[in-house]
Amino acid sequence: MRKDAEEAFRAYAVGRWHRLLRTAFLLTGHHHDAEDLVQAALARAYVKWERVRRADDQDAYVWRIMINLHRDRVRGPRAPEWLTTRFPERTGGDGADQIAVRDALVRALLRLPARQRAAVVLRYAEDRSETEVAALLGARLGTVRSQTARGIARLRALLADAPELERKVTVPRGRREHGHTPDRA
């Protein structure tokens, strides 16, 4: 679009925004839906701006675009809306317990030495084999095993200081518990 046409469109959009919004509100009944409708109508008018500029009545052209968009919206498949003064009842928890558990676990992990933390995270969070962890850390298999065991023991000790999380955080005892067998060297 040429610069003068773009400036003309900008001036039109700014000058008519409130009138368009008022009409859109009356069509939709909701302020946010009205804003969306005006924006969609102006976007369509922008694409066809040369044709809109040549029209006898620019306002009528843009209003027609807006009314057609609204009609298409109303006609199309929509999920029903129910206005209510109350929020729906939640069947599950609010997630606060999960956030607390995750926070406690992350804090405990951050208190581990870097090698132990890397071994535990790669082994259990990333579910990698001991061989893969050894390759990623550039360490021997025995070192990975000892770092992982020490890290898990330290995590248990750190999390034991938080009795409210005792039953909520499960620190793995070893891969056999989870149906995995440790790698053999």
Report the C-alpha dihedral over residues 142, 148, 150, 156, rounded to 10 degrees: -160
How confident is residue 93, by pLDDT bands cut at 50, 70 and 90?
Answer: low
In order of their start, the domains of the chain are 3-75 (1.10.1740.10), 97-168 (1.10.10.10)
* Per-residue model confidence as pLDDT tens digits over 43-62: 999 999 999 989 998 988 99
Quote the pLDDT of residue 101.
80
Instruction: Give dist(CA 141, CA 43) in Å, integer.
Output: 62
Q: What is the mean pLDDT of residues 94-114?
A: 82
DSSP structural state of residue 121: I
Query: CA of 134: how far to CAs of 75, 115, 121, 151, in Å?
Result: 61, 11, 13, 15
Q: What is the mean pLDDT of residues 6-13?
A: 93
Tokens 């990975």 locate to 144
DSSP structural state of residue 176: G
Tokens of 100: 């607390």
How confident is residue 184, by pLDDT bands cut at 50, 70 and 90?
Answer: very low
**What DSSP line would sit under 15-74, residue for residue?**
HHHHHHHHHHHHHHSSHHHHHHHHHHHHHHHHHTHHHHHHSS-HHHHHHHHHHHHHHHHH
Query: CA of 123: how far to CAs of 65, 69, 90, 114, 142, in Å?
Result: 59, 55, 36, 14, 14
pTM given for the model: 0.43
Quote the pLDDT of residue 16.
93
Between 27 and 163, the more confident residue is 27
Q: What is the mean pLDDT of residues 114-122?
A: 87
